[in-house]
Structure 1
């Protein structure tokens, strides 16, 4: 296969310094609604896929919450409601439909609570018994979490324990939870790590205090400043926080007199969700169909595991990107009434994990050089390193020799949407060559 002489993307001039990249329709003023300027990363529209994406779109005009915040709350709540039976296999590990997320936004402008309340509104209509009995808050200790879902005591006749082990835990002040986990002798971090895996829980010094097959999902709210202040290297190395998807959120609308979603809209959406969630609970092992397996094997998995160089806080925070992509894809698929993950579900999950990585980079102050897509970061770095001469098509080909033409096209097209990057034609003998260029935006 010959290296391309011309980049397989529509040439366009380098953007003028300071020009903003196009944004997807949730964040553009296409409907006459006033939308504030967004200070952080913007998710790929692919994350709003299928039933959950349509639901977010329907509810978007009724709340100031960030659509991606509503999305991740719905995915987490749905996975919790589905229970422990739906699962997928990654090697010898069994992964349940558990999605844990930290929604990270400014205290005033993040609208973190509004995102959770929007998801809770729908879930209450679709599964009122679940929200009444299974929605908790107040994580304080490992023993307390175990108590909330413990098995019955076999030595006592009238102690059945908790038959339903599903829980959706919402912590509106997750900084407090982090502080509790850091206390000397606290078992909270260790119990949380086991709970994410769906493992049985127990306390050795109290034989009756144990849990069989817990199914616990968590949403935490925290501000960027508080997260940075409370995180410690030992905590990241322990693996507690790489079990959460960091999701940057920001107020998306200014609704001075909103009365929220119309009850009829909520009831209509809930009718569909009620059926889908009930069917999902009857599902066992979830697999990938053949096109999705090919996409995972040849594109997504290498992107998640093969293109990430270095270490440090960002790598620690996103260390579970591969299993999380499949967990998310499973929930997307089940919400679409599919028992096999299809390509669209996998692409949506990959896009959300990439957004999570971009969120972590933004919150941890790693600057605009991180996009959330490791391959795109690699291409951007190569273009910057090329300097004024630009990066040629042949060099792009060598950089991604194992990628196919469509993937290289995708990366080039995505790069050209980023402020400061563009392309230009370089005169030569015969056909002009196109190079990628970087012009830093003016401060």
Structure 2
């Protein structure tokens, strides 16, 4: 169960393409699954425990620059384009940074396709290759994350504009993003994840792969007939996919796994485990649809769980690794803050320059070792309290310049004037008649 199973027509295509790309095959597989789920999301639903919801798979490829996030996306598009190429051209978008723009995009698309032969289309594939840029902006719109949650659940999303109300009752939105581990830690906060906004997105850390010998390698053609037939089958009418009898015991085990693991992890990591069972059954429904089946067998459920379990490990690694990488910041003591403040003022600080900045009273500072308190009576008015440092504190050396070694050998001074021609003073012009100092008695006043 620790190995990830690349299942079905999509998994087979990934295995054919992966020797020709410098990226983690899991990234290609995940991106292709997200695209596939977006293409069939309006017609295909998954049902369990009496609840029906769209089989939508949201994903994030997490890796540093050069890890192959974009390469994985292009390879995934190469795999699914023969089957759903028209969908990718029409229904792919990016740059949605507010809840209003999200609702507006889906509402306008539904309105534009209302009278077409295929009927109303509310599918959307949002691909954000620079997700950190979007996350910077969406923090200013609190409604964005709420609408994301509703869209993942397939619940209605609404918006009010000057022209009137907009509503999409059954959105089929899929989000596929790229982000670095540091930006994930910075922008995907614990509050948003705990609130359910971003723990609906499965993160996958991309692993390093060997370099290809030939840079001119092109991707091989993929036989997309099986997936094209499955796409026609999935979109012909509404399909409700459910568990087969042989998969129910494994489904029960997966639900228990999610509960046990989430109870043993810190809250900041447990939020990414809570939806393990739901993510697994959604991935399994997509795998079933890729084989034109309305049942989730044990093999399909097991393959889906291997992928989701890998995502859980990646999420724990991203959040836990970031926490461990940050060194604990030592809080300076009161004595250290006082000494630093006095040294900053040249070794002599008044009360107004010291006490408000260290957060202590005069009595607390006087009680510190190595601090001398005197009164300065040189000015007018009340004498000023002055704090200085003494050298009698053990283990403390006064702050000063580093000692430098001097050479006692006298330096040879070479005068530049010796190499220059002698300067001649300009001749002093003779005073004009009548301009001498005795001529004007008021010149001394100028």
* TM-score computed with the length of structure 1 as normaliser: 0.67
> 1:232: which partner in 2?
189
| 1:16-415 mapped onto 2 (5 Å cutoff) | 44-108=2-66, 110-150=67-107, 163-183=120-140, 185-204=141-160, 207-255=164-212, 256-262=214-220, 265-266=221-222, 268=223, 270-281=224-235, 282-297=237-252, 299-310=253-264, 311-366=266-321
1:218, CA displacement in angstroms? Answer: 0.9
Distance 1:334 1:81, change over 3 A: same
Q: Deviations over 1:132-154 (max 9, x none)?
A: 10111112111111111105899
RMSD across aligned C-alpha pairs, in angstroms?
2.7
Q: Once superposed, which parts of structure 1, at least 4 consecutive aligned residues long, lie more than 6 Å away?
A: 157-162
Unpaired segments ≥5 residues, structure 2? 325-446
If asked which structure has higher relative contact order (CA below 8 Å, sep 6+), I would say 1
Report the Cα distance in structure 1 between the residues aligned to 2:248 and 2:238, rounded to whole angstroms: 20
- State whether residues 175 and 226 of structure 1, in contact with CA within 8 Å, keep that contact through their aligned partners in structure 2: yes
Report the Cα distance in structure 2 between the residues aligned to 1:117 and 1:186, rounded to whole angstroms: 32
1:313, CA displacement in angstroms? Answer: 1.3
Where 1:84 maps in the other structure, the secondary structure is coil
Where 1:209 maps in the other structure, the secondary structure is strand
Report the Cα distance in structure 1 between the residues aligned to 2:258 and 2:3, rounded to whole angstroms: 19
Q: Deviations over 1:176-204 (max 9, x none)?
A: 22222211x44211111111111121114
- State whether residues 111 and 250 of structure 1, in contact with CA within 8 Å, keep that contact through their aligned partners in structure 2: no
Distance 1:148 1:160, change over 3 A: farther
Report the Cα distance in structure 1 between the residues aligned to 2:110 and 2:126, rounded to whole angstroms: 24
1:345, CA displacement in angstroms? Answer: 0.8
- State whether residues 262 and 274 of structure 2, in contact with CA within 8 Å, keep that contact through their aligned partners in structure 1: no
1:205, CA displacement in angstroms? Answer: 5.2
Distance 1:170 1:153, change over 3 A: closer
Report the Cα distance in structure 1 between the residues aligned to 2:52 and 2:129, rounded to whole angstroms: 29
Q: Deviations over 1:25-80 (max 9, x none)?
A: xxxxxxxxxxxxxxxxxx94342122222111011112112111011111111111
Report the Cα distance in structure 1 between the residues aligned to 2:275 and 2:258, rounded to whole angstroms: 9
Distance 1:85 1:158, change over 3 A: closer
- State whether residues 60 and 201 of structure 2, in contact with CA within 8 Å, keep that contact through their aligned partners in structure 1: yes
1:272, CA displacement in angstroms? Answer: 1.9
Q: Deviations over 1:299-322 (max 9, x none)?
A: 222112244324421111232111
Report the Cα distance in structure 1 between the residues aligned to 2:198 and 2:168, rounded to whole angstroms: 22
Report the Cα distance in structure 2 between the residues aligned to 1:153 and 1:346, rounded to whole angstroms: 33
- State whether residues 110 and 122 of structure 2, in contact with CA within 8 Å, keep that contact through their aligned partners in structure 1: no
1:159, CA displacement in angstroms? Answer: 8.8
1:160, CA displacement in angstroms? Answer: 6.5
- State whether residues 9 and 291 of structure 2, in contact with CA within 8 Å, keep that contact through their aligned partners in structure 1: yes
Q: Deviations over 1:204-253 (max 9, x none)?
A: 45643221311111111000011112232221222111110011113424
The range that moved more, 112-121 or 206-215, is 206-215
1:95, CA displacement in angstroms? Answer: 2.0
Distance 1:253 1:137, change over 3 A: farther
Report the Cα distance in structure 2 between the residues aligned to 1:111 and 1:153, rounded to whole angstroms: 34
Q: Deviations over 1:94-118 (max 9, x none)?
A: 221100011101112x201111111
Distance 1:164 1:178, change over 3 A: same
Report the Cα distance in structure 2 between the residues aligned to 1:131 and 1:92, rounded to whole angstroms: 32
Distance 1:152 1:182, change over 3 A: closer
- State whether residues 201 and 212 of structure 1, in contact with CA within 8 Å, keep that contact through their aligned partners in structure 2: yes
Report the Cα distance in structure 2 between the residues aligned to 1:335 and 1:276, rounded to whole angstroms: 5
Report the Cα distance in structure 1 between the residues aligned to 2:143 and 2:86, rounded to whole angstroms: 30
Unpaired segments ≥5 residues, structure 1? 1-42, 370-443
1:90, CA displacement in angstroms? Answer: 3.4
